[in-house]
Amino acid sequence: MATLELSLNEDVAVTPVRRVRRLGPLFWAAVTWTVFILAAAAFAGVLPLPSPTDMDMLERRMPMSGLHWLGTDGLGRDELARLIHGARISLTVGLCAPVIGVTIGGALGMLAGYFRGRFESLVVGSMDVLLAFPPLILALAVTAYLGQSLFNLTCILGVLGIPAFMRVARAATLTLARREFVIAAEALGATHARILLRELLPNVFLPLLAFFLLGVAVTIVVEGALSFLGLGVPPPISSWGSMIGEGRESLEVAPRLAFIPAITMFLTVLSFNLVGDTLRALTDPRQGAL
């Protein structure tokens, strides 16, 4: 027996080599864009920009120039300033709403998938109700009662995201809770809380993170759609969606007014997805397993 152990020592004792992965220029381009947009949004107040709300009726729909880098919009407001200030709104909603969804939905989904039984039926049932409720009507109703504000908008989009996150978390938990390592943890005397937080959460975290980044992208687009419909932040505050909506009126004369915010939104959403996918692939320790 001892000889077997010794002969094993030599070939297995080699230090494990960490695989280095090439990230590629696309990933770095996406990171650069994301950082750029985030920084611009964060420092919008201190950047030497004209006011995003000051109108200049003599300089409506001006083309790009040294004074107005991206020109002016239909009311003579600086397009670049509106774009950067709009990024604040779009990114705040786009990041905060999925956080609400992933926290509440993830917790409910894990509890439902782990404890099963009546609690699960209750959670799944109420989520189905929420899913069946037309989202636009809910948004209309809430803004009608509580008024249009950034906070209300974030909450509506966050609540609307809960069922999807719940389903992802529950599906992942259901398959994992049957695995032997959960029984093994229980056999080692782990509490339910411990099993949920230390054994299951790290496993559920990866699919949730991937879905969260997708959620950010979707929310930015949905916020745009709601603002386009006039349900977003109230004017004169700009967001990318409301800018596209306003640009629509002068689509024949100055198409850039709709296209510039649209392209910005497209690039941001694409970058989030690219970064998210790459990070997930990098941090998933299960790669190559199974």
Residue 180 CB, nearest approach to another protein (Å): 4
Answer for which of 132, 189, 193, 252 binds another protein (CB under 8 A) is 189
Q: Footprint of another protein on residues 8-37 (CB under 8 A)?
A: 8-9, 12-13, 15-16
Which member of 191, 230, 263, 281 binds another protein (CB under 8 A)?
191
Burial readout 137-176 (b: 16 or more C-beta within 10 A, e: otherwise): eebeebbeeeebebebbbbbbbbbbbbbbbbbbbebbbeb
C-alpha closest to that of 208 among 107, 74, 130? 107
Instruction: Assess 282 for contact with another protein (CB under 8 A).
Output: no
List the one residue from 73, 78, 199, 246 that touches another protein (CB under 8 A): 199
Q: Please, what is the minimum distance in Å from the beta carbon of residue 288 to another protein?
A: 7
DSSP code, position 249: G
Closest approach, Cβ 215 to another protein, in A, equals 21
Dist. CA 51–CA 78, nearest whole Å: 7
Calculate ∠ Cα 153-262-138, nearest 5°.
25
Neighbours of 115 (CB within 10 A): 15
Q: x/- string (CB under 8 A) for another protein, residues 158-177?
A: --------------------
Give contact residues for another protein (rule: CB under 8 A). Answer: 1, 4-5, 8-9, 12-13, 15-16, 179-181, 183-191, 194, 198-199, 202-203, 205-206, 285-286, 288-290
